[in-house]
Amino acid sequence: MKKKILDLIKKKNRSKIVSLTAYSKNIATILDNFCDIILVGDSLGSVLYNYKSTREVSLDTMIEHSKSVRMGIKKSLMVVDMPHNTYRNSKEALKNARKIVLKTKCDAVKLEGGKKIIKIVKDLVKSGIPVMGHLGVLPQSDRSFKFKGKKTSERNKILNDAKLLESAGVFSIVLECVETSLAKIVTQKIDIPTIGIGASNNCDGQILVIDDLIGLNPIDVRFIKKYTNIRKEIKKAVSIYSKDVRNKKFPLKKHSY
């Protein structure tokens, strides 16, 4: 296993793992100083492209954004989401994961699901491709985004899936919208780090979508904390710019050749 990944696993029970999504170079450059993991998430489908679901995101779109993100990362672990319908069997998964790794130079790929994808995960790991798991709410296949872990059957399935993914060789698991006490149990029962989003502070780490954190994406969901209102800042700047242009205050001589 790559040293970067082993170092990440060692953080379990020692220090919290910080993770964010990025879809482009300039943002990745900023996040790289603060993050352990930068994920090129297929959430870009809804955040950037206004798709109804992440199911519409293509492999080529993921690759192009990841190439941009790669240019902004020096130290963080870079993970790329494998989009919907690109890992329906081992052969397809291997072909597409190899393409992602080759073209984007990412450190790992992320796949959604548990028991159903165990053989695929094993085959990817066996062929040298590090894999991150994703349990709880699965945007590529779930119709509802309600939190998971209310029913006993759901709780047992998530815990069992986490153990299966760990033995298949994933180095970490994202827990999306998983009930607080279940997140704690899963985190305690496995030896690899869990990264939560809407899954309480019982996880080993936390991930958020960067556009949500900075208030660029105008959505309001319980698990998001907006650390700034970047829309307000952009509006202020653009408003001054438009006045300057209209009042002939920009460009000045010093901005001209």
Catalytic residues: 176
Question: In the complex, what is the shortest distance from the CB of residue 45 to ligand KIV, in angstroms, rounded to a whole number?
Answer: 8
Characterize 79-93 residue by residue with b for buried, 16 or more Cβ atoms within 10 angstroms of its Cβ, and e for exposed.
Answer: bbbbbbebbeebeeb
Q: How far apart are CA 206 and CA 19, in angstroms?
A: 6
- In the bound state, the residue with its beta carbon closest to ligand KIV is 41
When the beta carbons of 49 and 241 are compared against ligand KIV, the nearer one is: 49
**Three-state DSSP class for residue 28:** helix
In this structure, what are the phi and psi dihedrals at residue 123, rounded to the nearest 5 degrees?
A: -65, -40
- Return d(Cα 249, Cα 66) in angstroms, integer: 39
CB nearer to ligand KIV: pick between 120 and 233: 120
Distance CA 255, CA 138 (A): 50
Nearest-angstrom CA–CA distance, 128 and 215: 38
Least Cβ distance, residue 19 to ligand KIV (angstroms): 8
Instruction: Provide, rounded to whole angstroms, the least separation between the CB of residue 149 and ligand KIV.
Output: 17
- Six token digits for residue 16: 């919290």
Toward ligand KIV, which CB reaches closer, 201 or 239?
201
3-state helix, strand, coil in the chain (%, to 5): 45, 15, 40
Shortest distance, position 152 Cβ to ligand KIV, whole Å = 25
Point out which residues bind ligand KIV (CB under 6 A): 21, 39, 41-43, 81, 174, 176, 197, 207, 209
Which residue's CB is nearer to ligand KIV, number 197 or number 213?
A: 197
